[in-house]
Structure 1
Amino acid sequence: MKFERNNRYFQIALYAFGVIAASTLLALFLMNYSYFSSRFAAFFALLTPFVYGFVFSYLLNPCLNFVERKLLCRVDKPRLKRVLGLILTYLFVLLLIAVFLYIVAPQIGTSLAGLVSSTPAYLRQFEIFLNTTVRELLENLSIDAATIERIITPAEEIFAKVGTYLLDNIPQILNFTLAVTSGLKNFALGFIISMYMLYSRERFIAQSKKITYAILPKKRADGAMGLFRFVHKTFSGFITAKLVDSAIIGVLCFIGMSILRIPYAPVISLIVGITNVIPYFGPFIGAIPSIIIVFFESPIKAVIFAVFILVLQQFDGNVLGPRLMSNSTGISAFWVIFAVLVFGGQFGLVGMFIGVPAFAVLFTIVRSIIESRLKKKNMPVSTASYMVPGEIEPVKTTSEEPRP
């Protein structure tokens, strides 16, 4: 007996088989989640050097462009120019690392050692400050003894807990340093991989474009290329400007603290420079603990440092930052704060840093989609047009305008 093939029932059976197979795979994955997650973690751990290499190559790409355009402009052979550009770029990076290791790092280590050894004495000084100066101040305000005890005792308990926490976590800080040291292998491999990425960057870009045009229709591929260019422009502009800005602020902080003879200048300048990469909240994250550190050494120096850091941040926010950033993200202050909080909550300090350009890209994509849909409906695109009360009228096209 011969059976005729029915395409409709064959498609239904094929879809049913696909659903059953996908459900079975999902059930197996959920039942063996710990096994698969460990396998995925091991696989992505192998990719860590390549992630480092991509990050290094992306950060060093502007430096390589500058060297090739300005210093090697008379070299005609492209391969020779690229090799010489890579040599000069990485020599500059190695020089910066050497300066940090031989000049900055020993000073930071000395400052950290002094800070750690002085922590118990600082805790005792603050306890004495609470029991003498603060108590006398409250007594001069005619506050009864019972109320004074209710104020002083909780403050002493809180500070004792903070001191215990700091002393207990000093070994963890050292362990973190050792963990960073053990990660130098991935750092070194990423450094080497970045050289290959930069040397063949045009080929990698061409291969990516080739795959994009092979998978997508031409119109969508053109749109994807435009989106990639915008993402690159937004991220590279923001990251480069922010790193340069933070480096300048860190150096100025060190110079100012050295002139004012404020203690722990290397450590505090490093803290201020690193935290300054975080928009809006970074200056506060770096300034508050730094002021506390200086306060333990000298309250007067802490006041001087607070005034100095306030002036420095005003210079950064009103003069240096605008000149370097030049509105590189194109989003308002509200959305910058929103991006820092949301991405920081999800991805920590890295999210607080890259959250602003990432959100700027998402914001621009959503805005372009909304404006495109509004244009199809002949509705106004400008936000100011929607601030008027009542209904919004469509925009009159040229053909609909009345003739004079």
Structure 2
Amino acid sequence: MNYFWKGLMLFGAISASILFFFFLFKLKDILNGFETVLNVLAPISYGLILAYILTPIYNKFEKRIEPFFIKSFSISKGKALAKAVSTFITLLLMIAVLASFFWLVFPQLYKSILGIIDLIPNSINKVSVWVDDLFKNNPQAIQTFSAYYEEATKYLEQWLDTSFVSNIQSFVSNVSIGVFKVLSFLKNFLIGMIVAVYVLNCKTKFATQAKKLIYSIFNQKLGSAVINEIRFVHQVFGGFIIGKLIDSFIIGIICYVCLALMNMPYSMLISVIIGVTNIIPFFGPFIGAIPSFFLLLLVSPMQSLYFLIFIFILQQFDGNILGPKILGDSTGLSSFWVLFSILFFGGLMGFFGMIIGVPFFAVAYHLISQAINNALKKKNLSTETEDYKNIP
């Protein structure tokens, strides 16, 4: 019997090693497979995300409206009407916010983009004048520049002869793919709104069914522990993501107001860039500030310098005052693990991974910490990290 268990453990270890190396070498194919499944389930995913974000607003309306309907009708009918009205008001509020955003922001963005396009010829002329002034009294520089100019001209002629047509075809193809993706997103988003309606109305039923399933699989003690962990996941993800969205929205508004008061060009465009990239922890402010700085540099070097000073002050305000007020210590991670999670999940899933990486890693970190602490308790050892500091 002893040999049987040893053989079984050896077989399990070999199988686990084979699976590990299979996943390691086939990770790209596995991720592509997941991507295909996620594309198919995109409307459901959008609906679940929308419902999750809108749930706090829905709950507030439902609590206010439900007593009124229960008094006016029977309990069951009153609750059903309260759910329907709360869902309608929540979706109407979301549509109103999105419509207001597009109505206010898009015209400004359009003007900013047109302004940038108009600015390019003027910037090129400035560079040409600067180059002429530089080479006017410098024969050696003219000779060096002429050699580079001839080489660049030959390369351009070769590119026009060989690659220009294929690049145009590639550009048209990319534009077509982009248009298709936008239309696909709009379709999935609209279907997702319908899914969100069902999820908001049935979320209590879904939660009850999930509890029933958990207790059917685990005993009561373990089932309660699983439910507590799910609540922790909800607390971390809900607190971080919704808090970060609110924080970034406020930062975007503050940025626009301050830039408008400073008479900065492209204030709406820059504020949208700063607000959107601020969702990404740690790297977000830099990702948004760098292109905005170069955009202002085309117009006025002095204004671009003022912008950098303003962004530094704004991020200090966000990091030390606004962010902690809204987010608190929602993840419980140190700065190193925040950086690690952003780099790791950002590398795996891109922009989306940089956003969800921190709360996802926070949950994993919490589960591993609990497992370690439980193992230490069974050995009657301390669970405090400081107690292991001076052990040689």
Q: With structure 1 as the length reference, what TM-score do the two structures score?
A: 0.74
Q: Measure how far apart 1:300 and its partner are.
A: 1.5
Once the 2 structures are TM-superposed, how far is the Cα of residue 124 of structure 1 from its aligned partner? 4.9
Could you list the per-position Cα deviations for residues 345-366 of structure 1 after superposition, in whole angstroms to 9, with x for gaps in the alignment?
1111111101110000000000
Would the alpha carbon gap of residues 130 and 378 (structure 1) be closer, same or farther in structure 2, given more than 3 Å must change?
farther
Alignment partner of 1:377 out of 364, 376, 379: 379
Moved more, 174-183 or 104-113: 174-183
Q: Which secondary structure does the structure 2 equivalent of 1:243 belong to?
A: helix
Judge conservation of contact 1:53–1:193 (CA < 8 Å) in 2: yes
Letter in 2 for 1:319: I
Alignment of 1:80 onto 2:74: no
Match of 2:251?
A: 249
Aligned residue runs from structure 1 range 104-253, under 5 A: 104-126=105-127, 129=130, 176=178, 179-253=181-255
Counterpart residue identity of residue 215, structure 2:
Y
Query: Which of 264, 267, 282 is the equivalent residue of 1:265?
Result: 267
Q: Secondary structure at the match of 1:183?
A: helix
Matched residue type, 2:41: L
DSSP-derived class of the 1:196 partner = helix
Aligned to 2:22: none
Aligned equivalents of 2:35, 2:329: Cα separation in 1? 38
Q: Is the 8 A contact 2:66 2:79 kept in 1?
A: no
**1:46 aligned onto 2:48:** no
Q: 1:323 aligns with which of 312, 325, 336?
A: 325
Identity of aligned residues (%): 36
| 1:39, distance to aligned residue in structure 2 (A) | 9.0
* Structure showing the higher helix proportion among its residues: 2
Q: CA RMSD in A?
A: 3.4
Q: Distance in 1 between matches of 2:66 and 2:212?
A: 30
Match of 2:57 among 55, 58, 63: 63
- CA drift of 1:217 comes to 3.2
Q: Which has the larger radius of gyration?
A: 1
Between the aligned partners of 2:365 and 2:36, the Cα distance in structure 1 is 34
Cα distance, 1:60 vs structure 2: 0.8
Q: What amino acid is aligned across from residue 225 of structure 1 in structure 2?
A: I
- Tell me, in whole angstroms, the C-alpha distance in 1 between the residues paired with 2:280 and 2:239: 15
Q: CA deviation at 1:88?
A: 1.6
Q: Distance in 1 between matches of 2:34 and 2:333?
A: 36
Aligned length: 337
Q: Letter of the aligned partner of 2:202 in structure 1?
A: S
Alpha-carbon contact 1:72-1:85 (below 8 Å) kept: no
Structure 1 residues 122 and 62, CA gap change in structure 2 (3 angstroms): farther
CA distance, structure 2, for counterparts of residue 103 and residue 228 of structure 1 = 39
**Separation in structure 2 between the aligned mates of residue 43 and residue 327 of structure 1, nearest angstrom:** 34
Alignment check: 8 A CA contact 1:52 1:186 kept: yes
Q: Aligned to 1:330, what secondary structure does the other structure show? A: coil
Q: Which amino acid aligns with 1:265?
A: S
- Structure 1: runs of 5+ lacking an equivalent: 1-33, 140-144, 162-166, 391-404
SS at match of 1:200: helix
Structure 2 unaligned spans of 5+: 1-28, 71-77, 157-166
Asked if residue 89 in structure 1 is aligned to residue 83 in structure 2, the reply is no
Cα offset, 1:116, TM superposition: 3.4
Query: What's the CA shift for 1:48?
Result: 1.4
Which residue matches 2:290? 288
**Alignment counterpart, residue 338 of structure 1, candidates 331, 337, 340:** 340
Please give the per-residue CA displacement for 1:46-69, whole angstroms capped at 9, x wherever unaligned: 321111111111111112123334
Q: Distance in 2 between matches of 1:331 and 1:90?
A: 34
Aligned 8 A contact 1:107 1:266 in 2? yes
User: Which residue is equivalent to 2:10?
Assistant: none
1:142 corresponds to which residue?
none
Specify whether residues 122 and 178 from structure 1 end up closer, same or farther in structure 2 by C-alpha distance, changes over 3 A only: farther
Give the aligned residue type for 2:95.
Answer: L
Shift of 1:128: 5.1
**In structure 2, what is the Cα distance between the partners aligned to 1:268 and 1:170?**
27
> 2:177 & 2:272 partners in 1: Cα distance?
20
Is the 8 Å Cα contact of residues 65 and 82 (structure 2) preserved in structure 1?
no
Distance 2:133 2:42 in 1: 55
